[in-house]
Each structure stands twice: as C-alpha cells, then as structure tokens.
Amino acid sequence: MEGASKWVLFLEACLIFSSLIISFGNYNVAAAKIKEERAERKLANDDQSGFISIDCGLPKNSTYIEETTSINYISDATFIDTGVSKMLSPESRVTHQQQLWHLRSFPEGIRNCYRINITSGTKYLIRASFLYENYDGQNDLPEFELHLGANLWDTVKLENASLSVTPEIIHVPSLHYISICLVNIDSGTPFISAIELRTLKDTTYLTQSGSLSRLRRFDLGSSSNRGYRYNYDVYDRFWLPRAYNKDWKSISTSFTPDSFSQNDYQPPEVVMSTAATPLDATASFDLSWNPDNAGSQYYVYMHFAELQKLPANESRAFNISLNGKYWYGPLVPKYLSTNTIFSQSALSGGQYQFSLYMTENSTLPPIINAIEICIVKDLLQSETEQGDVDAITNIKATYKVSRNWQGDPCAPVTYLWDGLNCSYDGNEPPRITSLDLSSSGLTGEIAPHISKLTMLQYLDLSNNSLSGPMPDFLSKLQSLKVLKLEKNNLTGSVALELLEKSKNGLLTLSVDENPYPCSSVSCKNKKNNIVIPIVASVGGFCILLFAAAAIFWIRKEKKSHETVYKYNGEAVNEVQMSKQGSKEFQNEVKSMLRAHHKNLLSLIGYCNEGDNMALVYEYMENGTLEQHLSFDCNNVLTWIRRLQVAIDAARGLDYLHNGCRPSIIHRDIKTSNILLDKKLQAKISDFGLSKSFETESCTHVSTEPKGTFGYFDPQYYKTKKLNRESDIYSFGIVLLEMITGRSAITRDLDHAPIHIIQWVGLDFWKWIL
C-alpha cells in the first residue's frame, strides 16, 4: 500500500475510534438516565408522589412533616431569589397548620415570582395559601394580585387576619415550569405562606377550554363539622363541611373502608360516607349560588353514593333540573359506590339553580354526598416560548444579571423584563426580539445561550468588559438586524456571514473600541507558540495515537537516511505563490487539468496572454488550514474536525500519488496549501511545483529540490531524488502542526529557528506526561 493511502486508512480508523468514545459517553449518559428513572418510579409508590409542598419563608434546606396532615414540606429558598422570610407570633401559630407559620413577604419590587419546575402537559391542582395574623405588626390587611405565569389568577383580598385564604386552580401547564407571582398593586406588601401542587388524573375535571378555579367544595351532610384534606383525600383537596340547612337532614353509613368503590375523582370516603337529603321527602333538594360576575362560566361536579342497604320494597331514583329544566336523570345511586355527575360544557347565563327531585315510582327522597363548583379561568395570554425562556434564564445566570428579571420574560407586557422587547402574535407564544445588556458590567465571554434566542433582531452588548473571541454563533441568528459589540475587550475576527450581511446592508454591525477587532475577511493570523490544550477533547486519546504514529513515521524516515538535515536558519528554495513564473504557471495548469478529485482545488479557468497570467479557482470560504490552526483564530478546529481535515488532505494526496496516471508529486504540501470550503472540507491547492512521474516503473525522478522550508524532505534535499515519500514527509509535518498548533518553524528567544520535529522530539513527551 502506498504511503498516502495508509494515512487515509489510519486517520479514518482514528475518526471511528473517536466517534466510539463519544457514543460510549452517550451510552453512559443514557444508563445514568435509566437509573434516575428507576429511582423516580420507586418514589412513585410513595403516598405523596406528585406532590410539591412548599412552605414559604421556611429557612433554606429545612424540611418537616406537618403533624396533622403528615405532608412533607420543603423550604421555598430554591424557587425564588427575592423577598424576606417572616414568622407568625407563637400565640397566633397554635390554631394553624405548620405550613402557615412562616411566610415570605415582598417589600421590594412590583412583581416577585416563584419558578417551580413541573411536568408539562400534566394536570395539576395548584394552591397558594395566605395567612396574615398581623405578622408585620401593621394591623393592615394587604391586597395584591396573584399571577400564574403571564396571567392574572386571582386578587388576594384578605378580610380576616386569622383566616387563611387559599385560592386554588386546576391547570395543565404547557411549559416545563410554572411561575407564581405576587404583584404589588399599592395596597400593602404582598406575601405568601405556602404553595402546594398536586397532580390529578387526566380523565378528571375536563373542560372544553380554560382552567378551573375552585369556588366551593362541600362535604354535604357532614356530621363532624370539620374539613378534610390529605391524607383523607389522595389529591389533597380541601373539603369543607356543609351540614346545617333548615330544609336538609344528614344521613350516613358506617361501612368498612374496603367496601367502598371509587371512580377517578376519588372523593374521600369520609366525605362520601355522609349525604344530605331533604327533610320533606317529597320536596326537591335545591342548590344554588350567585355569580360574582355575570360573565363567569362554571363547571359543577356532584358526587353520589347510596349509603343505605335498601329493602326490596324501597327504591331511590331522582332527576336533576337546572333552572327548572330537566338536566340529568333518573339517577339511582349505587350502594357504597361513587358516581360523579358533571356538566359536559361550561354553564353560563348568570342563574344557577339545581334541583334534585324524586321520580314518581321512587319511595325515597334524593341524596347528594358532595359537590364541587369551579369557575372557568381563561388564561389567555400565552407564556413566552420555552426555548426563549430557557435561553434568557441561562443568560441571566451566566452574567448574574441584577435587574428585576422574574416571572415570564415577555408577558404580561406590563411586566416585560427590562432590556427586552418581544413580539406578540395573537395566540402564539411571545418571542424575544430584542436584548439590550449594554453598560451592564458584563464580564467573561459572550454567552452561547444568546444564539438560542432565535428570533432576536437587536442585540446590544456594548460598553461592557466582555472578553474572548468574537463568537461565530451570532451568525446563527437569522433575524439579526443590529449587533452592537463596541466598547468591550473582544478579540479575533467577526464571523464571515455577519461581515457579509453587514456589507450587504442587512446588518448594522459595530465592533469599534475593542482591542483587536478584526473586521475584515483577511484577518491577520499570528502564529502562536502556545499549544492548544489537548486534554479537554474527547478524542484526546486518539490524538495521542495519531501523534505517536506521525512521529514514528518521521523517525523512520530519518533512520533510513542517516544524514539528518541541518538548518542554517535560511529558507531553502522557498517559492511564494505570488511570484510564480511562467513555468510554474503552465505546470499548474497542466496538473490541474488532469487531476479532478473532491479533495483537490478545482481550476475553473485560466488566462495566458503574454505577461498576463491568471488562474481562476473555486472559492474557498474558510481560507487556509494555516489560518485555522492559529491560536488567535476564533474558528479553532475541534479534534474530530481536524481528523476529518487530515483525512480529506490524505485522500487528495493519495489521489495525486496513486489515482492519477501518471502520478503527480505535489512537492509543496503545507498548511497554507490546504484550503477549507464552506463545510470545512479540505482541498489541496497550489500545483505550481508539482512533478509527474512519466512511467509506472519509475521510483523517482531526479530534479533540483524545490519546496518550502520546514516541510522539505531532507532525503530529497540531499539526494535530489524526488519520490512520493517526499510529499508524505511534508504531510507528516502538517499533521504535527495540526496536533500541536505550532508552525513548522518557530523561533526561540534568541531568534534561532526551531523546527517542529526538534520541538516535538525534545518537548512533546515532556508536555504529554
């Protein structure tokens, strides 16, 4: 096998190996995930799975089990950065459950928000609790707004200091988090005592649109006069007793808990074991409520279960009417079995009078065990698109933005985050279109998260202390029209796409007052003596093999020709492209017309009229490999990318040596002659010095040595015999440059030249070990 083909195979093996390492990494991540999921599933057997119980104001990292409910509460510290923790006086605590003892109050800021991660698309019962108990000594009951994400959920109006208010909503969040915000409306300091989330079954509390806010949830005919929640109720709903009505009486049963059969709503058995029935058996049982707002819409859920074992000659059957019109029936409740009757669509119209009346052949009056009445909450304002929220949240964290950035970034528009602008398009989620973080004391590099704000049109990061290279990723922002980066500490070149857009008037770009802004395509690339750190790379191990092989190759070369070349510090026969003479010109045209390969630069045309000589090549957007190896360059190539470039170049070389008949020896393989196209595919260029082997049998041609100092095969220099191995030698030097980031020739402190092979021989292993 010929040298260049060996390289192709070897480098491809390296690439496969690197990919394997990466997939192995992925496999480990997958395994860890499965483990996590298993742990979660185990948790799902726990009684309180699907519960998030937050005691607001509880000191950070504290947890406890509430005595009366056995609910496990946690501190709110991880869900919010603002507000101050307060506690009720010991005497006012005694009559309340422990989650109400602490509270968080918000003397600062208009909108303060909790951010709680949840599972999107899951039905949640979300409840907030507020108990004042004159915690601040002001004796002044506050009034404020409670927002769920971008929408008003409720106005919290406290009317009795020692009674808790507990607004509750059944809601299916569309994002993987919810924000609960307390909004100051100039009527006292907002505060909150507890936040509780419980997952519900998808089959329950169905609505045609909107979420459901609790108006009433009654345990009818209760004989205990006490409320029930967890752990009587698996979903921790609050059931209040409603026993006394002059026209009603209570009936109850004493069943064994096992015998009760439930439906998906699972009202607690203790609630279902009592029922209300009219005193006068022939009278109807009436339920009604006055709407707070004529436009309100309601859903009603009635829970029934027969509590008496009826003898054969008795029966209980009844119909339900709404505002005097038949609504449902006849209903015959089953013994100790929950049956839930609910409105299939929202009730509206402003009048809600339900009557339960026995059918003609029933011997017993109607009963009802429990009822829930909910108001429809249309949370019409959609929340900002999740990707934008994630990106801006990460940007906030990266730069520790100290502005009042809380809750939804774009909505409601009244509380739009300072420095943002958003697009609001009907029911579509708002998108962030503008980000102004100028003069904000930002340090570090430009955060990659910015590129995730895909609808961004305006980006101003000027007048900060941002450092590092001008990032490439900003060119991913397709809608970007204004980019202000001036007055920072940025270096490197601006991405070509951005320059192009700016040239075409599609982008207003300002990069002035940065130390080394390089705003032209031909950015000066200073070679750097610092070695690009190898360790971070996944393919690092492979690179070692790669290096070892390159060194071995070159050593082998050296060994077989004992005379090691000496550098006198001057260039030997260096031919610069720009000074190409007529011979080189014709030579190049001849070679190029013969050689066609995807890893060779294609000649498009040429002109040869007297002194006017020109070659027209395909355009290579990404310049030379040399530019990309420069440490200053912001397009530093990844290891995998380097391997691919090396494979491309090796393929091109292999084609010249073994694919072309007669073969071509390039004679000037170097990093500046390997060009990269738009997709970073490498192509070999500059055939000005190339030589053809005229015959198959020929192993070498004798010729005056030509090439570039540093890449020059010493054997060829000595013997003047040119063969394929001369190119392979140069290619080895290219590989070393790709690995180390050093030029073929560098100078030491005394300006003496150091060849990369010397450097590798002396320092490389020291550096690796």
Ligand X SMILES: *[C@@H]1O[C@H](CO)[C@@H](O)[C@H](O)[C@H]1NC(C)=O
Instruction: Return the active site residues.
Output: 668
Is residue 694 at the binding interface for ligand X, with CB under 6 A as the rule? Answer: no
What is the residue whose two structure tokens read 């808790």? 164
Shortest distance, position 397 Cβ to ligand X, whole Å: 20
Is residue 467 at the binding interface for ligand X, with CB under 6 A as the rule? Answer: yes
Shortest distance, position 675 Cβ to ligand X, whole Å: 30
Shortest distance, position 279 Cβ to ligand X, whole Å: 18
Is residue 662 at the binding interface for ligand X, with CB under 6 A as the rule? Answer: no
Judged by CB under 6 A, which of 204, 359, 404, 692 binds ligand X?
359
Nearer to ligand X, 488 or 663 (CB): 488
Total Cβ atoms within 10 A of residue 13: 14
What is the residue whose two structure tokens read 């397009």? 635
Judged by CB under 6 A, which of 5, 463, 510, 580 binds ligand X?
463
Nearer to ligand X, 489 or 519 (CB): 489
Judged by CB under 6 A, which of 40, 108, 247, 314 binds ligand X?
314
Judged by CB under 6 A, which of 361, 402, 578, 702 binds ligand X?
361
Region of 225-233, 357-365, 375-383, 586-594 interacting with ligand X (CB under 6 A): 357-365
Nearer to ligand X, 440 or 692 (CB): 440
Q: Rounded distance, CA 57 to CA 631, Å?
A: 51
Region of 257-265, 459-467, 520-528, 654-662 interacting with ligand X (CB under 6 A): 459-467
Is residue 311 at the binding interface for ligand X, with CB under 6 A as the rule? Answer: yes
Which runs of consecutive H residues, i.e. helices, occur in 582-624? 582-594
Nearer to ligand X, 368 or 675 (CB): 368
Shortest distance, position 265 Cβ to ligand X, whole Å: 24
Region of 59-67, 221-229, 306-314, 336-344 interacting with ligand X (CB under 6 A): 306-314
Dihedral sign (CA 51, 52, 54, 60): positive
Q: Rounded distance, CA 627 to CA 650, Å?
A: 19
- Which residues, including other chains, have CB under 8 Å from residue 702's CB and lie 6 or more apart? 720, 721, 722
Is residue 162 at the binding interface for ligand X, with CB under 6 A as the rule? Answer: yes
Total Cβ atoms within 10 A of residue 264: 12
The one-letter amino acid at 605: G
Is residue 363 at the binding interface for ligand X, with CB under 6 A as the rule? Answer: yes
Nearer to ligand X, 200 or 437 (CB): 437
DSSP 73-141: EEESGGG-S-SEEEE--HHHHTTS-GGGTEEEE--S-SEEEEEEE--TT--EEEEEEB--TTTTS----
Shortest distance, position 609 Cβ to ligand X, whole Å: 50
Judged by CB under 6 A, which of 110, 152, 332, 640 binds ligand X?
332
Q: Rounded distance, CA 30 to CA 49, Å?
A: 24
Judged by CB under 6 A, which of 439, 573, 638, 758 binds ligand X?
439
Is residue 560 at the binding interface for ligand X, with CB under 6 A as the rule? Answer: no
Nearer to ligand X, 69 or 489 (CB): 489
Region of 173-181, 460-468, 477-485, 702-710 interacting with ligand X (CB under 6 A): 460-468
Total Cβ atoms within 10 A of residue 242: 19
Is residue 59 at the binding interface for ligand X, with CB under 6 A as the rule? Answer: no
Is residue 225 at the binding interface for ligand X, with CB under 6 A as the rule? Answer: no
Q: Rounded distance, CA 599 to CA 704, Å?
A: 28
Q: Rounded distance, CA 65 to CA 73, Å?
A: 6
Closest CA relative to residue 732, chosen from 740, 701, 660, 540: 740
Is residue 465 at the binding interface for ligand X, with CB under 6 A as the rule? Answer: yes
Exposed (0-12), middle (13-18) or buried (19+): which is 380, by Cβ within 10 Å? exposed
Nearer to ligand X, 406 or 634 (CB): 634
Shortest distance, position 137 Cβ to ligand X, whole Å: 17
Of 471-500, which residues contact ligand X (CB under 6 A)? 489
Is residue 313 at the binding interface for ligand X, with CB under 6 A as the rule? Answer: yes
Calculate ∠ Cα 526-527-533, nearest 5°: 120
* Number of chain positions touching ligand X (CB under 6 A): 19
Is residue 400 at the binding interface for ligand X, with CB under 6 A as the rule? Answer: no
Q: Which residues of 652-672 are buried (b: 16+ CB within 10 A; e: fewer)?
A: bbbbbbebbeebbbbbbbbbb
Shortest distance, position 469 Cβ to ligand X, whole Å: 10
Is residue 163 at the binding interface for ligand X, with CB under 6 A as the rule? Answer: yes
Region of 155-163, 226-234, 392-400, 705-713 interacting with ligand X (CB under 6 A): 155-163
Which runs of consecutive H residues, i.e. helices, occur in 140-260? none
Provide, for the chain, the percentages of residues in helix, strand and coil under a 3-state DSSP scheme, each rounded to the nearest 5: 25, 30, 45
Shortest distance, position 242 Cβ to ligand X, whole Å: 16
Q: Rounded distance, CA 214 to CA 298, Å?
A: 10
The one-letter amino acid at 202: D
Is residue 252 at the binding interface for ligand X, with CB under 6 A as the rule? Answer: no
How would you classify the pairing of strands 72-75 and 63-65?
Answer: antiparallel
Nearer to ligand X, 160 or 508 (CB): 160
- Which residues, including other chains, have CB under 8 Å from residue 743's CB and lie 6 or more apart? 527, 710, 737, 756
Q: Rounded distance, CA 295 to CA 282, Å?
A: 35
Shortest distance, position 443 Cβ to ligand X, whole Å: 8
Nearer to ligand X, 162 or 479 (CB): 162
Shortest distance, position 453 Cβ to ligand X, whole Å: 23
Residue 674 φ then ψ, to 5°: -110, 115
Nearer to ligand X, 281 or 506 (CB): 281
| Residue ranges that bind ligand X, judged by CB under 6 A | 160, 162-163, 311, 313-315, 317, 332, 359-361, 363, 439, 441, 463, 465, 467, 489
